[in-house]
């Protein structure tokens, strides 16, 4: 289990409070998620039958979950047939050890990285640095965060909270001269800084949006082109993928691709959708000589057969983040350094154990907007409801809470108990705001007054 993802109890509320108090961040979050949501809705409406497509996508992903080892096996054989290498890693430690070994075998000093949540999960950058190898993020948002030593706060728009001024400050420090806080200047600066990295990196590391079992294909989806550069120029390409990111055939891939960019950013396809099938071939003048695919487990196998297996269908599009009313207020940091929003609230407790992220299933009003927005029809809010049940059944939820609900349910198990307890509550009303939930309620709202007479006690004509 990755402890990097753990969220100690209470941290969600503390971080959220900080974000709520920052007017600029509130404005940025509202603007960004509203825009991305509108773009998705527009793109979905342009599809002939989006419901049927979502249903097909769900079916494809669940078919994979039903025989994951079979498809991974097929994928591995396909890649190896083309001269690529496939490695399976159970834990983050195993994964980084494998990747560092590949880099060391090539005498690598510089690694160019294209955005990958899987590499965040395993803490790859830290491990490379510890081995004396310099990793550089090439996705613009990730690069900015790396310079500032920060974590991504949205799986598709990682630096959503940064200002132009903050970026200019970071870039000026690198270039050793003042870079103006204007988009064109910042873009040119990033292009300059990172062009060097693409051309001189010894190893390129990317994620993988979807692997195709029948052909051994790895799919990269970017808008910037850094995925293509990272997978084409360095002599060695390492792909890091979560083991569930596979589809059986190219036809299945086309269903997922038709939904992915539309759901993430409202585009029909991202600027660059790249299908990589093996290392460079005979006669080709560029492309990596070596291709390695590192497939990571890190808690995914545990989900294959249980109530939460549908969560493995996730294609990391971010649509759920963009409709979540809670994410809109808090941003991603409150959920943790890698996954956030509804998908993070489900996935992180499943990966690290409920005891290590007990706030997350309750970081939601169960409004259901996420389930409505998910292109592969994961019933996210129902999974959150089930996780809440698990919190109680695993004894993670605090004892006093379980005692309170038990007492309440015993009182309300009969009409007599209900009448007695509510009569007493009415007497004790003024005290309600002094402690516990009543106090938390009363800080911002008038405490609801129990009516002088219950409805049932009124004369009904």
* Binders in 346-365 for another protein, by CB under 8 A: 359, 361-365
Among 224, 244, 290, 310, binds another protein (CB under 8 A): 224
Does the protein bind another protein through residue 412 (CB under 8 A)?
Answer: yes
Q: Does 342 bind another protein (CB under 8 A)?
A: no
Q: How far apart are CA 219 and CA 120, in angstroms?
A: 19
Closer to another protein at the Cβ: 172 or 267? 267
Is 291:85 a contact under the CB 8 Å cutoff? yes
What are residue 38's phi and psi, to 5 degrees? -60, -40
Of 66-74, 85-93, 306-314, 404-412, the segment contacting another protein by CB under 8 A is 404-412
Which range, of 97-105, 238-246, 295-303, 435-443, touches another protein by CB under 8 A?
435-443
Q: Are 65 and 304 in contact (CB under 8 A)?
A: yes
Q: How far is the CB of 420 from another protein (least distance, A)?
A: 12
Any idea what the Cα angle at residue 70 is, between residues 67 and 221, rounded to 5°?
Answer: 85
Closest distance to another protein from the beta carbon of 225 (Å)? 3
- Residue 188 CA from chain centroid, whole number: 29
Residue 273 is a binding residue for another protein (CB under 8 A): yes
Q: Of the listed pieces 125-133, 238-246, 296-304, 437-445, which binds another protein according to CB under 8 A?
A: 437-445
Choose between 37 and 300: whose C-beta lies nearer to another protein.
37
Backbone angles phi, psi at 433, to 5 degrees: -85, 0
Per CB under 8 A, does 367 bind another protein?
A: yes
- Contact between 330 and another protein by CB under 8 A: the answer reads yes
Rounded to a whole number of angstroms, the minimum distance from the CB of residue 104 to another protein is: 25
> By C-alpha distance, which of 313, 294, 433, 429 is closest to 371?
313
Q: Which of 4, 85, 106, 388 binds another protein (CB under 8 A)?
A: 388
Give the integer Cα–Cα distance in Å for 74 and 39.
Answer: 36
Reduced to 3 states (helix: H, G, I; strand: E, B; else coil), residue 70 is helix
How many C-beta atoms surround the C-beta of residue 450 within 10 A? 15
Helix locations, 201-340, DSSP H = 226-232, 250-264, 319-323, 327-330
Compute the distance between CA of residue 359 and CA of residue 7 in angstroms, rounded to an integer.
Answer: 8
- The smaller minimum CB distance to another protein, of residues 18 and 132, is found at 18
Name the CA dihedral angle for 280, 285, 287, 290, rounded to a multiple of 10 degrees: 50
Nearer to another protein by Cβ, of 130 and 250: the residue is 250
258: Cβ contacts below 8 Å, ≥ 6 apart:
47, 53, 268
Which of 142-151's residues contact partners 24+ apart within 8 Å by CB, and which partners?
Answer: 142/113, 142/115, 143/190, 143/193, 143/194, 144/170, 147/171, 147/173, 147/174, 151/120, 151/333, 151/337, 151/338
Binding another protein (rule: CB under 8 A), the pick from 326, 343, 352, 378 is 326
CA distances from 335 to 101, 349, 375, 411 (A): 32, 10, 22, 36
Q: Which of 405, 428, 431, 435 binds another protein (CB under 8 A)?
A: 405
| Cβ partners under 8 Å of residue 328, min gap 6 | 29, 30, 33
Q: How far is the CB of 144 from another protein (least distance, A)?
A: 7
- To the nearest whole angstrom, how small is the minimum distance from the Cβ of residue 130 to another protein? 28
Region near another protein per CB under 8 A, out of 53-61, 134-142, 298-306, 342-350: 134-142
**C-alpha distance from residue 36 to each of 48, 116, 406 (Å):** 21, 20, 43
385 binds another protein (CB under 8 A): yes
Is 126 a binding residue for another protein by CB under 8 A? The answer is: no
Site for another protein in 234-253 (CB under 8 A): 250-251, 253
Residue 81 engages another protein in binding (rule: CB under 8 A): no
DSSP count for the chain of H helices, then E strands: 20, 10
Q: Are 321 and 358 in contact (CB under 8 A)?
A: no
Dihedral of alpha carbons 330, 333, 336, 340, sign: positive
Q: Which is nearer to another protein, 176 or 448 (CB)?
A: 448
Min dist CB 90 to another protein, Å, is 30
Residues 135-194 that bind another protein (CB under 8 A): 138-141, 144, 157-160, 162-164, 167, 183-184, 186-187, 190-191, 194
Q: Which of 6, 7, 32, 206 binds another protein (CB under 8 A)?
A: 32
Q: Does 401 bind another protein (CB under 8 A)?
A: yes
Contact pattern from residue 283 through residue 312 relative to another protein, giving x for each residue in contact according to CB under 8 A and a dash for the rest = xxxxx-------------------------
Which of 3, 8, 9, 17: binder of another protein (CB under 8 A)? 17
The interface region with another protein, picked from 63-71, 102-110, 238-246, 382-390 by CB under 8 A, is 382-390
211: phi then psi, degrees, rounded to nearest 5: -100, 150
User: How many positions of this chain bind another protein (CB under 8 A)?
Assistant: 130
Binding another protein by CB under 8 A: which of 52, 178, 424, 447?
A: 447
Of 325, 355, 398, 428, the one binding another protein (CB under 8 A) is 325
């Amino acid at each position: 289990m990755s402890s990097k993802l753990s969220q100690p109890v209470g941290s969600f509320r503390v971080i959220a409070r900080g974000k709520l108090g920052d007017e600029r961040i509130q404005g940025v979050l509202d603007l960004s998620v509203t825009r991305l949501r509108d773009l998705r809705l527009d793109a979905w409406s342009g599809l002939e039958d989006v419901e049927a497509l979502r249903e097909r996508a769900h079916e494809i992903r669940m078919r994979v979950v039903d025989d994951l080892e079979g498809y991974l096996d097929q994928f591995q054989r396909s890649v190896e047939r083309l001269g690529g290498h496939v490695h399976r890693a159970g834990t983050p430690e195993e994964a980084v050890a494998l990747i560092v070994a590949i880099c060391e075998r090539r005498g690598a000093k510089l690694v160019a990285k294209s955005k990958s949540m899987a590499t965040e999960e395993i803490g790859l950058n830290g491990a490379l640095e510890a081995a004396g190898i310099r990793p550089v993020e090439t996705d613009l948002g990730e690069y900015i965060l790396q310079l500032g030593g920060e974590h991504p706060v949205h799986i598709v728009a990682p630096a959503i909270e940064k200002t132009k001024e903050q970026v200019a400050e970071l870039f000026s420090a690198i270039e050793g001269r003042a870079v103006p806080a204007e988009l064109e200047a910042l873009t040119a600066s990033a292009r300059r800084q990172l062009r060097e990295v693409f051309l001189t990196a010894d190893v390129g590391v990317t994620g993988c949006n979807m692997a195709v079992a029948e052909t051994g294909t790895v799919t990269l989806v970017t808008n910037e082109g850094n995925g293509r550069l990272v997978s084409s120029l360095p002599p060695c390409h390492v792909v890091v993928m979560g083991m569930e990111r596979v589809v059986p055939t190219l036809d299945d891939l086309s269903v997922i691709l038709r939904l992915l960019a539309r759901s993430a950013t409202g585009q029909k396809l991202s600027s660059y959708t790249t299908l990589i099938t093996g290392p460079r071939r005979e006669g080709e003048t560029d492309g990596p000589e070596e291709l390695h695919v590192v497939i990571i487990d890190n808690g995914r196998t545990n989900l294959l057969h249980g109530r939460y297996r549908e969560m493995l269908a996730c294609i990391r599009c971010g649509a759920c983040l963009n409709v979540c009313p809670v994410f809109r207020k808090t941003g991603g940091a409150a959920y943790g350094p890698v996954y956030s929003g509804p998908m993070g609230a489900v996935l992180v407790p499943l990966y690290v154990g409920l005891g290590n992220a007990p706030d997350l299933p309750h970081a939601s009003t169960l409004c259901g907007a996420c389930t409505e927005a998910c292109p592969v029809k994961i019933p996210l809010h129902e999974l959150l409801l089930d996780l809440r049940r698990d919190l109680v059944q695993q004894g993670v939820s605090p004892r006093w809470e379980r005692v309170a609900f038990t007492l309440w349910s015993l009182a309300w198990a009969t009409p007599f108990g209900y009448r007695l307890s509510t009569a007493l509550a009415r007497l004790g009303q003024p005290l309600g705001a002094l402690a516990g939930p009543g106090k938390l309620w009363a800080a911002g709202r008038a405490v609801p007054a129990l009516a002088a007479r219950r409805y049932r006690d009124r004369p009904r004509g």
